[in-house]
Amino acid sequence: MKFSKEQQKIALTLFVVALVAASMLAWVASVTKGPIAEAQRAMLHKNIKQVLPEHSNDPVHDMFVYPISAEKNLQIFPAKDKKGDVLAYAWEQIAPDGYSGTIRILMGVRLTGEVVAIRITSHKETPGLGDGITKDMAWLGSFIDKTLRNSKWSVKKDGGDFDQFTGATITPRAVVRAVQQGLLFYKNSQADLLKRVYITTKAKNVTQEGAK
């Protein structure tokens, strides 16, 4: 099948346009990759600072990976005092059963097992209803100092201690359940976490000394 000169010209023009467009997209991606990554790091630092007690270290720098299954790891961010002793940990807890999908929750927990604070880092809940999990600071604050023992871990509609939102019970119910699961994880893993944070710190110090 032969193409006319006009068809060949159109095909060549389309090819050039596609090539230019692809080149521009690649250029934009390369230019914005750095700023986007930096913005994400800044947001991570901000959120972690909000869910941890006052500390002297950089929890992001001291982050270590903790395996919770053969397929899944948690990034653990430890808060330390001036002596290097651990005060609390932060990590991201996943609520898979939100009304509109997965809810990601950054939670901080003291060594004593008390919630320092929580922040919602990602969700797809309905605006005006379920998004109260990010906007209702009083509701977020209701998790502060909660432990497995001093609270009933369900919404009030189910006989628990935590408020639900009007017309959006599923969303807060999912968050409450996920935070409770996070505290259970900490209860079962706290000795190993403490061991691993010092092993990780020692390994990083050795690496830094070797790089000098």
3-state secondary structure of 146: coil
Query: Is residue 133, in this structure, part of any structural domain at all?
Result: yes
Q: How far apart are CA 137 and CA 156, in angstroms?
A: 18
Cα Rg for the chain, rounded, in angstroms?
24
More confidently predicted of 11 and 174: 174
Query: Is residue 21, in this structure, part of any structural domain at all?
Result: no
Q: Domain containing 147: what range? A: 52-211
pLDDT of 61 above 60: yes
> Based on the number of CB atoms within 10 Å of its own CB, is 130 exposed (0-12), middle (13-18) or buried (19 or more)?
buried
Query: Is residue 8, in this structure, part of any structural domain at all?
Result: no
Query: Is residue 123, in this structure, part of any structural domain at all?
Result: yes
Query: Is residue 18, in this structure, part of any structural domain at all?
Result: no
Look at phi and psi of residue 140 and say left if phi exceeds 0, alpha if psi is from -120 to 50, else beta.
alpha
pLDDT in tens, 102-148: 999 999 999 999 999 999 998 888 787 778 888 899 999 999 999 99
What's the pLDDT band for 39 if we cut at 50, 70, 90?
low
Query: Is residue 26, in this structure, part of any structural domain at all?
Result: no
Query: Is residue 1, in this structure, part of any structural domain at all?
Result: no
> Based on the number of CB atoms within 10 Å of its own CB, is 127 exposed (0-12), middle (13-18) or buried (19 or more)?
exposed
What's the pLDDT band for 46 if we cut at 50, 70, 90?
confident
Report how many domains make up the chain: 1
Q: How many CA atoms lie within 13 A of 86 on its CB side?
A: 26
pLDDT in tens, 151-170: 999 999 999 999 998 888 99
Query: Is residue 196, in this structure, part of any structural domain at all?
Result: yes
